[in-house]
Every structure is written in C-alpha cells, then in structure tokens.
C-alpha cells in the first residue's frame, strides 16, 4: 500500500513539475528585443506618422511615392536627403527623446519617433 502511494506521488510530482516548466511565457520580450522598425512614405505621408521604439532601434523609411521625399529632423539631428521611389533610408536612435521630422519639399508632411528606455 505504501509503495503504491509512493509511486502515485512520484507520478504527480513529475506531472506537476512538467506543467510548471511549460508555463513561463514572457510576452514582454517582443517589445524589449525590438531593434528594427519600418515607416512607409506613401501618398505624401509617413505611415505610421508616429511610432514609439526602444533605444537602439534602427528605423527604416521605405519610399513608395514617385515624387522624392526627405526624412529631416526638426532639430537638425538627422537628414536623409532626397529619397527616390523604392529606395529606403535608415537611422539608429541611440538617445531617449521625441524626434519630430518633416519632408523638406513638402513641409506639411510630418512624423514623430518617440524613443524610450
């Protein structure tokens, strides 16, 4: 009888620890490990116009319009120069802050990159 109980408790212990090992799922890692983001330039706008990324992220702008556009920081921190259709340009954000940008030929085109820890 005691032998039977011992076997049963061992089986339970194995099942219990087995389940425990499968449960930890950290959903926050996707954001934590994000190091790349993409913004489309299309129809005279940045899509999405506003993004939030983790520090160290490289943001790539992909130009889809036949008219050339720029990605130019309001504060002079970065400037892509004119980007032709189907070309892209990227910038790596290594400082926390809010970075507003616009397009030199079309100043009404505006975008923002928010960089967080």
Binding residues for Cu ion (CB under 5 A): 69, 103, 105-106, 109
Of 41 and 115, CB closest to Cu ion: 41
Q: Is 21 annotated as a binding residue?
A: no
Is 51 or 104 the residue whose CB approaches Cu ion more closely? Answer: 104
19 is in an annotated binding site: no
User: Which residue from 53, 21, 24 is spatially nearest to 37, judged by alpha carbons?
Assistant: 53
Sign of the CA dihedral running 91, 67, 84, 81: negative
Q: Least Å distance between CB 115 and Cu ion?
A: 23
| Closest approach of Cu ion to the CB of residue 75, in Å | 19
Compare residues 77 and 82 and give the one whose CB is closer to Cu ion: 82
Strands 36-42 and 45-47: antiparallel
Q: Judging by beta carbons within 10 Å of its beta carbon (0-12, 13-18, 19+), is residue 45 exposed, middle or buried?
A: middle
Q: How far is the CB of 96 from Cu ion (least distance, A)?
A: 27
């Amino acid at each position: 009888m005691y032998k039977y109980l011992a076997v049963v408790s061992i089986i339970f212990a194995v099942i219990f620890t087995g389940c425990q090992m499968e449960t930890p799922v950290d959903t926050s890692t996707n954001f934590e490990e994000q190091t790349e983001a993409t913004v489309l330039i299309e129809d005279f706008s940045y899509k999405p116009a506003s993004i939030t990324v983790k520090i160290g992220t490289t943001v790539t702008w992909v130009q889809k319009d036949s008219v050339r556009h720029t990605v130019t920081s309001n504060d002079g921190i970065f400037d892509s120069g004119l980007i032709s259709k189907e070309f892209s340009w990227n910038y790596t954000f290594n400082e926390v802050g809010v970075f507003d940008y616009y397009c030199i030929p079309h100043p009404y085109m505006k975008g923002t990159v928010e960089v967080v820890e």
